[in-house]
Amino acid sequence: MKTLLLKPALVVSLLAVLAGCGSSPVYKEEGFKKETPYQRAVDQPPAKACDAAQRALLSQGYRIETSDGQAIHAQKLFQPDDEVNATIDFFVTCKDHDGGSMVFANAVETTYALKKTSGATGFSVAGAGSITMPWSKSADSLVKVAGQTIADGKFYQRFFDLISTYLGGKAR
């Protein structure tokens, strides 16, 4: 009986094709709707709106990574359990709009899991071959396991409501 041996390149190509068959492109779900949870109009100029957004984020424990007056990147770290870490990266942009400004917000949640690796120490001796010693080493590292834009309208509503308190009024 003859056995079939596949070349490594053919195996890798076959696996890549099979992996591509199982998922559809995410852009097909993009609706580009006019009404979204990611934006609110306010009656203040962009600089004041972004200042209120920055204050809202700071009041909730976010660390401001960058801010230029009309754009903010803030981050908050979480540790839901011993081997999982998560971050929320919050992005805010304030643009002129109808005598006030439009505040755009987008938050991305990224999850990391602890990956443990271990190994033994080995060395080669000329003429004797390689020797593996029982001294082990282990390393822990965080590996990204998920990342997704937060799409929950209530999440953004709470954020925009808090901004409105810093603006002394209501978001439209």
Q: Is the pLDDT of residue 152 over 90?
A: yes
User: Which pLDDT does position 36 carry in this prediction?
Assistant: 92
102: enclosing H helix or E strand:
strand 100-125
User: Which pLDDT does position 29 carry in this prediction?
Assistant: 82
pLDDT tens, 14-37?
455 555 556 788 888 888 988 899
User: Which pLDDT does position 137 carry in this prediction?
Assistant: 65
pLDDT band for 169, please (50, 70, 90 cuts).
low
Region 140-165: mean pLDDT is 95
Sign of the four-CA dihedral 69, 105, 76, 168: positive
User: Which pLDDT does position 132 carry in this prediction?
Assistant: 62
pLDDT band for 61, please (50, 70, 90 cuts).
very high
Beta-carbon count within 10 A of 93 CB: 19
C-alpha to C-alpha distance for 50 and 101, rounded to whole angstroms: 9
List, in order of start, the domains of the chain with CATH numbers.
35-113+143-167 (3.30.530.50)
Tokens coding 28? 């097909």
